[in-house]
Structure 1
């Protein structure tokens, strides 16, 4: 048997319930009160993890999937707590990850990490357990940072341990877990011997960590009277406005009520806490996770001092108003989110926002009021970009192919309006059924295809400029506007060629491209031009974006556009906090050249690409756009 060394077993009881239990689903007992599962839980609560592990194993052996694997996982976790690394690994070998829910998947990673470092010194264990990537789930990231923190504390690296807990707080979703994390930082600092003497670690620490260490130094000094302590705390608060310690530690541990005029929650330049509200569980958790990862990529790329971040799962809140209330209670100075269109609509009904809000979607016809901004990846922006491109090319008459339904009509309406104001005319359009793979009928109708007589050459006539024209279709239009997802875009592009529209330019929204280079499948898109964001088309040409992509390769490519949206959301929040958002200013972002409309909506100007040999190739705009302001110009990140 491999025994877990003293350092490991000594700190396990100190790990708070948020680390061991946060987010876990209740195990089904099958109604067998007093059975192995209930007895195992009772043994664990009595501090008898060895017995708990045995009982969980017995319950697992008697169960079938999907109940079996969660029980084996509990048996492994209890074995780790008992210091039995060999048994923990034996139990883990029985776990089928496909039978675990999302919360238990995070628990599995945590138990595997803890079992892996069994028998190692703190330094060796730290080499094995790297900081979590931005792509980790909040539960996995929080547990990984917690484990690293305890190893660092055991190794005598108090400041580095505090830094790990500060990073952990970014990933915590529940207010109670955040509060316990703050208390844990404070307990560790108060128990440490003069952590501020580690000057090298302190100099390398972030502003939040330095604030914690400095506060512990103030609390630990011998002060002659209360007035002196109060003055010291006031001076500390002025140096660290909005620090997490103002939430609970100052009033509850030091009897001091924060008095700074730049208290968190007030918004503006003094706001030190940024909130992020996303549906991190449920149907849209994948998309929301990509936005979160991009947001955190922006956070980690920012130079110190950085704002503190609080993340909220909107699916765990009663409604948008409850999210706002929780953010206010947590001292949030600016809230980014929510993501869903319906939630943004609810947000506009909140009578008075206590902090600036950057919603990650648009609400049509929403009333504008100070401190409310809207930013998203609206398909209407891309339709307008197509209209602008066509007008700049000198094309004046268009036909369009869009999918059935509300989305297609919204995109078509945005294109038609923008093209009209640019001097163009949408002469005809057709809709296609996305449940079908043959779009011949709408294509023939919008092309007025009449066919070519047998034996007739394909190009026998010429236009007014003496250029050959394709027989069998209308000749009074300059291009096709296409709104389609990749599979339908490939089909439609192929069928347009078949029906004698090979030479007719096709301009599309970004939805025609997956965002992943796939020349074998996208060969059918050759010649198609489309509007898309710099992150997809030009990030290798922008040093800041290419550097982020290198550091976050998995996240950058998994959901590229949503990751870029999160990245820009962080930058926009920084500009709003700094009071640098002015209507009409253009600045370069990962999702496009961004500018603020007078109504608070943030819009994008896009890059352009064209498919050649199945690969998207960046192409120049039809006319240069001047006046861009780099996104990081004038930002300190504070």
Structure 2
């Protein structure tokens, strides 16, 4: 299937009057000779100065040249320059370039609707071959921006046989292959008919399949032998090169600090068992490699700093843990002589640390920031926060708020609800429905007679962020629907999912948008092994089993992930990357509840929601004046 076919699927026709409205008529100036233009051809500042003094059509042509130079490094300025270009003064060729640059600029500015309009206005058949390749790349980028990764991959795959295909195309293709849901990648791999795509699909499958590092490297080496002359091997992704060239950390002795007794014993035991499951799984696959010695230290009632000192004295070359935030904080406050890599199983400091200290945790606060980012990407700008009235709820609300402000939004005053309180009262207060009642009652008293009215919610919001447990969510969402917020998207964090499919009870969570770890959304041999061995891994402790498994699998890759941009590890707790401050970031899978079950939430669905209310008679509700 041709790239033009996929592009036609992607692009929607918009009237050219929309595009023309984006241009304005410049004032004429003095004429610039061709010799002057040639001298400043590669200097955007000089081109802009020359344009300011030029007459049409030279004026618009110079602005176009300047925008072309700036489009990659400064898309905002480039788009501003394009807005003052007089399109009617351009040649046919420059007119096409003008539209193409506008599309590129708005893609970089994350404005897909406007970008789509400009791209659709380009006359593809009149583009020279170089700009046709650029058009195809932009079409793929637009599809990727909207979460349509399969379309993006199909567009780019048409150019893989072309020897003049730019490096950027391969880089973009690799990125989309890593973003594609696992099931879709497997489907592409099994149904592929494009020989040039086969090595890319196989490499992505190897890279994304969680496995022991030594095994993964062996599989990549075998892949290179099979595809030695392929463009994929000649244009290896940076993450693959980093995997091959950064030495893996191979400690002979690992100390694991966990609460194995006391109130947190079950949590610590889950992490331990998940880690051991990954340990034995890797050992069964790599029998020719000596596995490190493991020593477990119970942190319950112990001085964490003393345990760190003891572990190092007993030969530990890597420390994993502690699990509890307070214990980790105490250890950090008291310990100044950790000389070996240390992977803390919590997020203790947002400022992060320098090597050799790393943080990997399941922080609700981090997930709240993830929800803020997704809501912002989806185009919402006026949220309210509704969090349970507790220290945890306050922390989650503050994290969402902080991230929202960082993104450019305004500070939000959060609303709270009692964990066992009146959910109707809390939601009606947050939605200002009570104010509607009060205004009607005041008017009734003023007129001295009963006033017929329809209660309304506030109209100054476009989304809701809620934080709580599954049982709280099952009461909050119906209350929000009842008080007229049924058409507002609701975002939350993974705490609102029990971890077990319950389509009856979770029907009350329908349409809530939630980030979940791969443990809950994808198949995994290791997960299946853990679930068959430990029944508790199918309970609320499930994320901790996943955390233990990922702690084992990530430690050899810590330096590689920290040093290489774009390097990822596909774990059970998320797609893992490491920030410059040594924090392990988890990219989660966005889902929404549909018929009481988590279902994949695409970016396209986020931008074009189709709300369906199953059990709510709004007309009857309004007539009764509820």
Deviation string 1:320-351 (CA, Å, 9 cap, x unpaired) is 12212332233221010011112211221312
Q: Tell me the distance in 2 between the aligned counterparts of 1:270 and 1:297.
A: 19
Structure 1 pair 444–332 and aligned structure 2 pair: CA distance change class (3 A): same
Unaligned runs of 5+ in 1: 1-266, 457-469, 625-638
Q: Give the match for residue 499 of structure 1.
A: 483
Query: Is the Cα–Cα contact under 8 Å of residues 569 and 575 in structure 2 kept in the other structure?
Result: yes
Residue 605 of structure 1 deviates from its aligned partner by: 1.5
Query: Is the Cα–Cα contact under 8 Å of residues 400 and 426 in structure 1 kept in the other structure?
Result: no
What is the count of residue pairs matched by the alignment?
337
Q: Give the match for residue 606 of structure 1.
A: 588
Map 1:488-637 onto structure 2 (within 5 A). Answer: 488-536=472-520, 538-540=521-523, 543-544=524-525, 547-548=528-529, 552=533, 554-558=535-539, 559-576=541-558, 581-582=562-563, 584=565, 585-621=567-603
Query: Is the Cα–Cα contact under 8 Å of residues 506 and 528 in structure 1 kept in the other structure?
Result: yes
Q: Give the match for residue 100 of structure 2.
A: none
Residue 471 of structure 1 deviates from its aligned partner by: 5.8
Q: Tell me the distance in 2 between the aligned counterparts of 1:471 and 1:393.
A: 29
The question of 1:352 aligning with 2:352 is answered no
Greater Cα shift, 417-426 or 501-510: 417-426
Map 1:184-195 onto structure 2 (within 5 A). Answer: none
Deviation string 1:155-211 (CA, Å, 9 cap, x unpaired) is xxxxxxxxxxxxxxxxxxxxxxxxxxxxxxxxxxxxxxxxxxxxxxxxxxxxxxxxx
2:360 to 352, 365, 375: 375
Residue 623 of structure 1 deviates from its aligned partner by: 10
Query: Is the Cα–Cα contact under 8 Å of residues 565 and 590 in structure 1 kept in the other structure?
Result: yes
Q: Tell me the distance in 2 between the aligned counterparts of 1:412 and 1:492.
A: 16
Query: Is the Cα–Cα contact under 8 Å of residues 583 and 597 in structure 1 kept in the other structure?
Result: no
Residue 480 of structure 1 deviates from its aligned partner by: 0.5
Q: Tell me the distance in 2 between the aligned counterparts of 1:342 and 1:550.
A: 29
Structure 1 pair 555–573 and aligned structure 2 pair: CA distance change class (3 A): farther
Structure 1 pair 286–510 and aligned structure 2 pair: CA distance change class (3 A): same
Residue 524 of structure 1 deviates from its aligned partner by: 0.9
Deviation string 1:353-376 (CA, Å, 9 cap, x unpaired) is 132111111223667342111111
Query: Is the Cα–Cα contact under 8 Å of residues 248 and 556 in structure 2 kept in the other structure?
Result: no
Residue 549 of structure 1 deviates from its aligned partner by: 5.1
Map 1:38-57 onto structure 2 (within 5 A). Answer: none
Residue 546 of structure 1 deviates from its aligned partner by: 5.3
Q: Tell me the distance in 2 between the aligned counterparts of 1:618 and 1:545.
A: 22
1:519 aligns to what SS in structure 2?
coil
Query: Is the Cα–Cα contact under 8 Å of residues 526 and 612 in structure 1 kept in the other structure?
Result: yes
Residue 442 of structure 1 deviates from its aligned partner by: 2.4
Residue 591 of structure 1 deviates from its aligned partner by: 0.8
Q: Give the match for residue 467 of structure 1.
A: none
The question of 1:440 aligning with 2:424 is answered yes
2:300 aligns to what SS in structure 1?
helix
Map 1:256-295 onto structure 2 (within 5 A). Answer: 269-295=249-275
Q: Tell me the distance in 1 between the aligned counterparts of 2:519 and 2:299.
A: 27
Q: Give the match for residue 277 of structure 2.
A: 297
Greater RCO between the two (CA within 8 Å, min separation 6)?
2
2:254 aligns to what SS in structure 1?
strand
Q: Give the match for residue 461 of structure 1.
A: none
2:378 to 371, 378, 393: 393
Structure 1 pair 330–268 and aligned structure 2 pair: CA distance change class (3 A): farther
Q: Tell me the distance in 1 between the aligned counterparts of 2:249 and 2:475.
A: 52
Map 1:179-258 onto structure 2 (within 5 A). Answer: none
Map 1:332-481 onto structure 2 (within 5 A). Answer: 332-348=316-332, 349-364=334-349, 368-425=353-410, 427-434=412-419, 436-450=420-434, 472-481=456-465
Structure 1 pair 451–420 and aligned structure 2 pair: CA distance change class (3 A): closer
Query: Is the Cα–Cα contact under 8 Å of residues 293 and 555 in structure 1 kept in the other structure?
Result: no
Q: Tell me the distance in 1 between the aligned counterparts of 2:455 and 2:463.
A: 16
Q: Tell me the distance in 2 between the aligned counterparts of 1:621 and 1:555.
A: 34
Aligned-CA RMSD value: 2.7
Unaligned runs of 5+ in 2: 1-246, 441-453, 607-626
Structure 1 pair 550–439 and aligned structure 2 pair: CA distance change class (3 A): closer
Residue 583 of structure 1 deviates from its aligned partner by: 6.5
Query: Is the Cα–Cα contact under 8 Å of residues 248 and 557 in structure 2 kept in the other structure?
Result: no
Q: Tell me the distance in 2 between the aligned counterparts of 1:514 and 1:415.
A: 22
2:599 aligns to what SS in structure 1?
strand
Query: Is the Cα–Cα contact under 8 Å of residues 318 and 342 in structure 2 kept in the other structure?
Result: yes
1:473 aligns to what SS in structure 2?
coil
1:339 aligns to what SS in structure 2?
coil
Q: Tell me the distance in 2 between the aligned counterparts of 1:619 and 1:335.
A: 37
Q: Give the match for residue 50 of structure 2.
A: none
Query: Is the Cα–Cα contact under 8 Å of residues 249 and 556 in structure 2 kept in the other structure?
Result: no
Q: Tell me the distance in 1 between the aligned counterparts of 2:351 and 2:251.
A: 26
Residue 389 of structure 1 deviates from its aligned partner by: 1.3
Residue 477 of structure 1 deviates from its aligned partner by: 1.2
2:309 aligns to what SS in structure 1?
helix
Query: Is the Cα–Cα contact under 8 Å of residues 270 and 548 in structure 2 kept in the other structure?
Result: yes
Q: Give the match for residue 109 of structure 2.
A: none
2:355 aligns to what SS in structure 1?
coil
Query: Is the Cα–Cα contact under 8 Å of residues 387 and 466 in structure 2 kept in the other structure?
Result: yes
1:309 aligns to what SS in structure 2?
strand
Q: Tell me the distance in 2 between the aligned counterparts of 1:482 and 1:330.
A: 47
Residue 413 of structure 1 deviates from its aligned partner by: 1.6
Residue 440 of structure 1 deviates from its aligned partner by: 2.2
Query: Is the Cα–Cα contact under 8 Å of residues 531 and 538 in structure 2 kept in the other structure?
Result: no
Q: Give the match for residue 229 of structure 2.
A: none
Query: Is the Cα–Cα contact under 8 Å of residues 388 and 418 in structure 2 kept in the other structure?
Result: yes
Deviation string 1:225-269 (CA, Å, 9 cap, x unpaired) is xxxxxxxxxxxxxxxxxxxxxxxxxxxxxxxxxxxxxxxxxx984
Residue 475 of structure 1 deviates from its aligned partner by: 1.7
The question of 1:322 aligning with 2:303 is answered no
Deviation string 1:370-413 (CA, Å, 9 cap, x unpaired) is 21111111111111111111112111110110112322222112
Query: Is the Cα–Cα contact under 8 Å of residues 268 and 333 in structure 1 kept in the other structure?
Result: no
